[in-house]
Structure 1
C-alpha cells in the first residue's frame, strides 16, 4: 500500500513537470508570436512542386531566412500553385529577385531558394509575388528533352539511310565504281604506251636531225675549205669558171639550208602536235576518271619522267650539234674567204660572195631561232606534263584521304 508521503512526492513532481512544460511552450510560442515576419507569395504554373512541404526551408543565397507557410492550388486556375512563404522582417527582397525550387540532399525533399537581385533595384513590398526563375535542374531537364528528340531524329534518319533500297543503291554504286576503275586502268595503260611511242619517236627524230646537221656541217666545211684554199692560191687567176663554181656552190648551199630548215620545222611541228594530242588525251582521261590508285599514279609519273629525260637528251644533242667546232670552223672560213676576196679587184664577185655569206648567216640564225622555239615548245609540253602529274598525285591523295568522294561524285 502506497504511503501518504509517496503520494505527496509524486504530486509535487507532476506539478513541477507540468509547470516546466507550460513555461517552455509559452516561451516557444511567445517567441514566434513576438517575432516579426514578412509574407510573400510564389506562384508556379504548369510546374510540379512534389517534395515541397509546409514548414520547408526558405533560403536566400544559401542562408535560411524563412519557411513555407502554405501550399495551395489556385481555385480560379488549376494549372497554378501558390506558395505562401514568411521571411524574417527586414530581409532585402528586391524586385528582380527570383525564386526556384532546389533539392535538399537525396531524400527528394525540396526547399525554396531565393537568388539574384541587384543593389539598384527597388525593394519588393511584403505580400507581393516573387518571380519564378529557372533552376539548374530544370535547365538540364529541358536540354535532356531536346537532346532526346534530336537523338530520335538521328536514329530515324539512320534507319532511313540503311533501308533496303539505299543498300541496293550503294551496292550498285560500288559495282559501277569497280567497272570504272577497270576501264580507267585500261585507258591509262594505253596512255602509257602512247607516251613510250612519243619518247621513241622523239629520240629517233632527234638522231635523224643530228645526222642531217652533221652531214650539212661536214659538206659546208669541206666546200668552204676547198673554196678558201682555191681562192687563196689562185686569187689573181680567177676566171669565169671560178665565178660559175661559186654561184653553183651558193645555190647548193642555199638549197641545202632551206631543205634542212623545212625538215627541222616539220619535225618539231610533228613533236609538238603529238605531244599536244597526248596531253589532250591525258586531260580527257583525267576528267573522266572517277577514282584512281596510287600504283597507277606512280607508273604514270615514272613514264612522264622517262619521257622528259628522253626529250631533254634530244634537246641537248641538238644544242651540242649547233655548238660543234665544225659550225664555228665554217663561219670562220666564210669570214676568211670574204676578207681575201675583198682584197681583189673582182668587185662583182666579192659583192655576190658577200651576199651569199650574209644569206648563209641569216639561214644559220633562222635555224638557231627555230631550234630555240622548238625547244621552248617542248619545255612547255614538259611543264604541262609535270602539272598533269601533280594533278594526278593530288587526285590520288584526295581519293586516299576521302574515299567517300567516289560516292558523292565531287
Structure 2
C-alpha cells in the first residue's frame, strides 16, 4: 500500500510540475496576442530578410515574419508569410518595402500607405490578403547605379569611336583654325581700338551738344512765351498788318496819280524836244493842216 501511495504522489507531482512548466513556457513565450496573417508578394530579391524578422508599420513593430518561400505557381515570385497584431487594421492601399538595420545587413519589413494615388479613405485590408512588395530605397539606388554604369560604358565606347585617328586629325585641324580665327579677332580688336576711342570722344561731344541743344530749346521756349504774351510781337505784327492793309488803297491811288503825272510829263518833254522855243515863247498854236481852214501850201510846192 505504501508503494502505491508513493507512486501516486510521484505521478501527481510530475503532472503538476509539467503543467507548471507549460504555464511558465507559455508566459515566457508571450504569444497570448491574437494575430492576423497576411502574405507579402515580392518579385525582387529579399536578401537579408529572415524568419522572425520584425514587421514595422509607420515605425511601430506590429508583427513578425513566419515563413519565406517561392510561389509554387510562379517561381519568379517570393511569398513572405507575416503575422500582424490583430488589433491593427491595415488599409487596402498598403505596400511593403525592405528596410536595413545599419551596417549589419539584417533586413526587416516596412509597411507603408500608398497615399499618392488615393483620394478617398481606403477600405480595411481583409485577413490572408496579399500585400505587394516594392523596391526599397537601396534597390532603387542600386538600379540607378547600374543604369549610370551602363550609360558611362556607352559614353566611353562612343568617345573611343569619336577619338579615332582620323577624327583626332580633324579635331587638331579645327583647333588650329580656331587659333587662327582667334588671332584674327585680336587684330580686328587692335584695329577697332582707335575707332572705339573716337567713338568715346564722339559720345562726349554728343553729350555736350545735347546739353547745348537743351539750353537752346529753353531759350526758344522763353522766346515763344514772350511772343505769345499780350502786347507782344504777334500783337504788334497784327496791328502793323492792319495798318498796312489800310494804307495799301491810298498807296494805290497815289501810284495812279503819279502814273498820270508821269505820262503828262512825258508828253511835255516830248513837245519840248520837238519845239524847244516853247520854253521862251510859250505854246504856239499849230498851223492848219491840209484840208483845214486857213491852210497855206508852202511855196516850193506851187505849180
If the TM-score is normalised by the length of the shorter chain, which range does it land in?
0.5 to 0.7
Inter-CA distance 304–38: structure 2 relative to 1 (3 Å threshold): closer
Structure 1 residues 306 and 89, CA, compared in 2 at 3 Å: closer, same or farther?
closer
Alignment partner of 1:115 is 2:112:
yes
Query: In the alignment, is the contact (CA less than 8 A) between 1:36 and 1:88 conserved in 2?
Result: yes
CA 1:19–1:174 in structure 2 vs 1: closer, same or farther (change >3 Å)? closer
Q: How much does 1:117 deviate?
A: 5.0
Structure 1 length as normaliser, TM-score?
A: 0.40
For 1:8-407, what aligned pairs fall within 5 Å after superposition?
Answer: 21-28=21-28, 31-32=30-31, 34-45=32-43, 47-117=44-114, 120-176=121-177, 181=180, 292-302=184-194
Q: Distance in 2 between matches of 1:304 and 1:83?
A: 80
Higher helix share: 1
Alpha-carbon distance change, 177 to 73 in structure 1, aligned in 2, over 3 angstroms: closer
8 A contact 1:95–1:117 mirrored in 2: no
Question: Per residue, is there more strand in 1 or in 2?
Answer: 2
> Aligned pair in 2 of structure 1 residues 91, 296: CA closer, same or farther (>3 Å)?
same
Equivalent position SS for 1:125: coil
User: Contact 1:96–1:131 at 8 Å: present in 2 too?
Assistant: no
The one-character-per-residue Cα deviations of 1:55-80 (angstroms, maximum 9, x if unpaired) are 11111111100011111111121111
Question: Which runs of 5 or more structure 2 residues have no equivalent in the other structure?
Answer: 1-9, 202-303
Residue 302 to residue 112, structure 1, CA distance change in 2 (3 Å): same
Separation in 2, partners of 1:26, 1:95? 33
**Does the residue aligned with 2:146 lie in a helix, a strand or coil?**
helix
What is the alpha-carbon distance in structure 2 between the residues aligned to residue 177 and residue 299 of structure 1? 20
Call closer, same or farther: CA 1:151–1:116 in 2, change over 3 Å. same
Structure with max Cα Rg = 2
Whole-angstrom distance in 2 between the partners of 1:304 and 1:99: 72
Q: CA deviation at 1:303?
A: 6.7
What is the rounded CA distance, in whole Å, between the counterparts of 2:169 and 2:21 in structure 1? Answer: 88
d(CA) in 2 for partners of 1:26 and 1:301?
99
Distance 2:76 2:198 in 1: 86
Cα RMSD between the aligned structures? Answer: 3.3
Whole-angstrom distance in 2 between the partners of 1:157 and 1:164: 14
Most deviating of 112-121 and 94-103 = 112-121
CA gap 1:22/1:123 in 2 versus in 1, 3 angstroms: closer
Structure 1 residues 176 and 51: alpha-carbon distance in aligned structure 2, compared to 1, 3 A threshold: closer
Shift of 1:133: 2.4
Using a 3 Å threshold, how does the CA distance of structure 1 residues 304 and 68 change in structure 2: closer, same or farther?
Answer: closer
- Asked if the contact 2:38–2:127 (Cα under 8 Å) also holds between the matched residues in 1, the reply is yes
> Displacement, 1:177?
5.3
CA distance in 1 between partners of 2:108 and 2:133 (Å): 14
How far has the Cα of 1:42 moved from its partner?
A: 0.5
